[in-house]
Chains A and B, each alone.
Chain A
Amino acid sequence: MFKFLRNKYFWAIILIVIASLSIMSMTTAPRQEVTVVENIIRDIYSPLQKCTGNIRGNWGGISYIFSNKRSLTERINTLEEKNKQLSLDNQLLREYQSEAKRLKKLLDFKEANIDKYTLLEAGVIARSPSNWYNTIVIDRGKNHGVYYGMPVITPEGLVGKVMQVNNTTAEVNLLTDREMAVGVILQRTRETNGLVEGLGDGNLLRMGNIPYYSSVEVNDRVITSGLSTTYPKGIDVGIVNKISREPSGLLLTAEVKPVVDFDRLEEVLVIIDYQPITDSDEVE
C-alpha cells in the first residue's frame, strides 16, 4: 500500500512543493535587498533590455515621422497655440507662486512641494513579464543613486515607487499594482482623506474608506496627501470616475482614473532626495 513511499520521484515532488512553499513564505514581504542570484539574473537581462528599449525608441520615432507628416504639422500648430496660452497662464501662476511662498514664509510653513526635490530622469526599458504584477524596469539603479522606496513620477502625476534596485536598473511598482496603496486627498475640498489602491487592472484605481458624508464628486482631482510618508504631498494621482456606496452604507468607494497612462510610459522621473515627513516636522 505504501509502495509509493519507496519511489524517488514521489520524494522529488514532495521536495519541490515544500521548497516552493517555504521560499514563498520567506519572500512574501517586500524586501529592500535582493539576493546575489537575483542580482546576477537581472544584470544579464538589463543590457539586453536597454538595447531593445533604444531600438524601439528610435524605430518608433522614425516610423512616426514618416507615417504622420501631415498630422504632425497640424499638431505642431495646435501645440504652438497652446504654448502661447500656457506661457500667459504661467506668468500668472508664477505671480501666485511667489505670493504663496511669501505667505508661507510669514506663517513659517514647511515647504512640501515637488519643485524642491531633485528629479532623476529614467527610461522605461522593460515591463513585468507576468500578467499578475504591474511593474516597470527603469535604466537607473544603485550606480545612479536610486534606492528602495523612492517615489517615481511623470510630469502628469504619480507613477509608483522603487521596489527593487540593481546596480544599473531598478524595478518600479506601478500604482495599479495590487500591492500598492497611497494616502490621498481631494484637491477641491482638501478634506477627504482616503486611500487609493491598485486593482491589478491597467487603467483603474480604487479610493476606499471615504465617509458617507464626504463631499466627493465625479471629476474631482485626487492628489497625494503626504500622510503616507512614502510620497511627497500634492502629486496628481487621478480623477474620480464613479462613486458607489459600500454594502455597509457608512462608507463610499470611488473609482479613480489615473492621470498617468501606464500603458504608454516611456520616461519617468525618480525623486532621489525625498525624505518622508515625520510627525515632528509637521507645523500644522
Chain B
Amino acid sequence: MVRYVILALLPFLAIFFQSTLFSFYSIRGTIPDLVLMFVVFFALINGERRGTIYGFLCGLLEDLYMGRLIGLNALCKAIVGYSLGKMQGNVFKENMLVGVLGVLAGTIINSLVMLILIVLFSGAPAIENDFFVKVLFQCLYNLLLSVPVYFWFFNSSYNGVLKA
C-alpha cells in the first residue's frame, strides 16, 4: 500500500518541483523532466506493461495540471514507459549507466513524439524554435539529476519503500 502511495506522490512532487524550484533555476530556459525520469526508472525495473500504465497516469496528471492538449504527455509518457519497459529483461539494472542511458533515450523519445503530436494537433511550427538545442539542454539537465535519482529509485525498489 505504502508503495502505491509513494508511486502516486512521486509525479505529484515532481510537477511541484518543476513548476517552482527548477523553473527558477533553469539552464538556458530549460528545466528537467523529473516525471519522465520516474517513468523511465519504473519501466526499467517493472517492465513494459506496468511502465506503460504508470507513464500514462503520470503524464495525465501533468496534462491535467497544465490544462492544454490533455493527453499529450499521457501518450508520450506511455510510449516512453512501453519502450523502456521492453528492455527490462535485457539490461543489468544494477549498473548506474543503465539508468542514465535510459533517461537519455527516454528524453529523446519523449521530445520527438511530443513534437510530432504538437505539430499534428496545434499546427505550430515548433521545429524552428531551436527545438534541438532545447532537447539537448534537457538531456543534459536530466542526465545530471538521473544519477542520484536512479540511485535512490533502484535501492528503494529492491530494498526500500518501493519494494513490491
Contacts and interface: CB of A to CB of B under 8 A. Distances in A.
Q: Do the two shown chains form a genuine complex with each other?
A: yes
B6 interface: no
Contacts of A202: 29
B130 A137 contact: no
Contacts of A179: 122, 124
A125 to B, nearest CB: 8
A201 interface: yes
Interface string B42-64: 00000001001100100001101
Contacts, number: 125
B19 A49 contact: yes
Interface residues of B, number: 47
Given A16-B56, A20-B74, A131 B67 contact: no
Interface string A8-30: 01001100110111111111100
Contacts of A203: 29
A200 interface: yes
Interface of B is mostly: helix
A128 interface: yes
16 contacts: A13-B52, A20-B56, A20-B72, A26-B70, A27-B67, A27-B69, A28-B69, A38-B64, A41-B61, A41-B64, A45-B19, A45-B65, A53-B20, A56-B20, A129-B66, A133-B68
Interface of A: 9, 12-13, 16-17, 19-28, 31, 34, 37-38, 41-42, 45, 48-49, 52-53, 56, 125-133, 135, 137, 164, 171, 178-179, 199-203, 263
